[in-house]
Amino acid sequence: MFHREGHKIIFATLVFIVASFLLIDGFVGLPWLQMVLQITLLIFFILILQFFRNPKRNTLLNDIQVVSPVDGKVVVIEEVEENEYFKEKRIQVSVFMSPINVHVTRYPIGGKVVFSKYHPGKYLVAWHPKASVENERTTVVVENESYGQVLHRQIAGALAKRIINYAKEGELVQQGSESGFIKFGSRVDLFLPVDTQIKVKLNQKVRGGETVIAEQA
């Protein structure tokens, strides 16, 4: 199953691959070179398919838990000042996605979308200290009565040139459902209450919609 954001790219890539195969057959005379070029094209196509895959995830709905919004590796767990929305101290948990991870972004909690904003910006590498405030990004805050408010921020990286955000202020959303998509690698930051119980560790691999990141104290 492939994500709808990749349908056009997958089709265009397939057309390019087929055309390239025909050109190789017609203009490359050396059999070994034909094979090398065709295998290279096939590997490229497989990588595109892998990037846009959208596997089904089984989210165990729980209003006092925060699940990971994306697949990847936990690279930051620290107390910081969140200055865009809360304007107070929060615990930041950041998940870095490599190009081979699933890039669907999911809602970490269910509830009402109370804030959703897009910010144009730079394309620093995703692990750069200033990436969360200078890169292209989207900020979404969801609130429910049991947990409170959770902010998740999609951040573009050096390769990610487009962030898709489905969140609309005022709508009710389900935990684990699709919040957006980041094309070609990046990271997502979570900003949680300072008294929350963090359930993950640095460098831990997490799965979007399934791994519990935090729980209400």
Residue 154 pLDDT: 92
H-helix or E-strand spanning residue 95: strand 88-97
Considering the entire predicted model, what is its pTM? 0.85
Q: Is residue 70 part of a domain?
A: yes
Residues 47, 69 share a domain? no
Do 27 and 71 belong together in one domain? no
| Residue 59 maps to a domain | no
- Percentage of residues of the chain with pLDDT beyond 70: 92
Q: Are residues 126 and 200 in the same domain?
A: yes
- In this structure, the answer to whether residues 24 and 98 fall within a common structural domain is no
pLDDT-derived band of residue 92, with 50, 70 and 90 as boundaries? very high
Residues 69 and 33 in one domain: no
Bridge-partner residues for 108, per DSSP? none
Residues 201 and 102 in one domain: yes
Asked whether residue 115 falls in the same domain as residue 38, the answer is no
Q: How far apart are CA 124 and CA 157, in angstroms?
A: 6
| 183 closest CA partner among 154, 161, 209 | 161
Whole-number percent of the chain with pLDDT over 90: 66
Same domain, 10 and 41: yes
Q: Is the pLDDT of residue 197 over 80?
A: yes
136: CATH: 2.70.70.10
Query: 88 in a domain, yes or no?
Result: yes
Residue bearing the bigger pLDDT, 28 or 133: 28
Residue 106 lies in a domain: yes
Q: What is the pLDDT of residue 36?
A: 95
Judgement on whether residues 105 and 199 belong to the same structural domain of the protein:
yes
Whether residue 74 is contained in a domain is answered as yes
Task: Assess whether 109 and 134 both reside in one domain.
Answer: yes
Q: What range does the domain containing 194 cover? A: 65-215
**Number of domains composing the chain:** 2
Confidence band for 160, pLDDT divided at 50, 70 and 90? low
Q: Which band of pLDDT confidence, cut at 50, 70 and 90, is reported for residue 55?
A: confident
Radius of gyration of the chain (CA): 20
In a domain, 95, yes or no: yes
**Does residue 152 sit within a domain?**
yes
Q: Is residue 23 part of a domain?
A: yes
d(CA 183, CA 6): 9
What are 7-20's pLDDT values in tens digits?
888 899 999 999 99
Same structural domain, 95 and 150: yes
Q: Tokens for 37?
A: 């070029």
Q: For 132, which DSSP code?
A: H
Residues 115 and 145 in one domain: yes
Catalytic positions are 186
